[in-house]
Amino acid sequence: MDQRSLQAVLFDLDGTLLDTAPDFALVLNIMKRRRDQQCIPYARVRETVSDGARALVTMAFNIQPDEPDFEPLRAELLSLYDQHLGTETRPFEGIPELLGALGDRQLPWGVVTNKPSWLAEPLLQRISLHPPMSVLICPDHVTHTKPDPEPMLLACTRLHTQPAHTVYIGDHDRDIQAGRAAGMPTVAAAYGYVHSAAAVASWQADFEVGHASDILPLLQHHFL
């Protein structure tokens, strides 16, 4: 991508744009206390959030998706999460300033997430980022989710931008796979819910940042 050709920036949600792990830790430990079980260390919750609700249930209760008690536990987790949505979630440090800088340049931003819209939409409304996002793509908007490029390409279509001029930032291998498959420049958010620095290096993102406040200087240097 040539210098000064950036048209938009897209983010993964959990672990990239917003620090949602505290809310998941809150509701998982409500579930553990209901069962008189020991609470889960926050670090274990944090490193599992980007793998989704099923992975959280498996981690917290040592149960597999094919076991009969799994779906009731997953449903309870999602119900409790909905009730506590946004309670302790905050943008990562540096994100508000980044979005403000994009707004100053009249560059749109958006979210492409594997979080369902019935949770993603109200969460983003409660956090109220400025300027507001221009697009939100969730699994219920597409046939194939990340790591398939379909949601990335749909976001570009709705933004009227070209993938090659739209940067995608994410904290999971599937984010980088999806961005690369769509022909986007990709940024690995190593500050997010990752298992190890070595894992991040293996994703083969175009760029890697260790803190959300590093994103704006990177964009300024390479794309603005």
Whole-angstrom distance, CA of residue 132 vs CA of residue 140: 21
Whole-angstrom distance, CA of residue 183 vs CA of residue 187: 13
DSSP string, 177-197: HHHHHHT--EEEETTSS-S-H
Give me the active site residues, please: 12, 14
What six digits make up the tokens of 47? 């490193």
Whole-angstrom distance, CA of residue 3 vs CA of residue 220: 9
Residue among 73, 78, 85, 21 nearest 47 (CA): 21
Q: Are 117 and 151 in contact (CB under 8 A)?
A: no
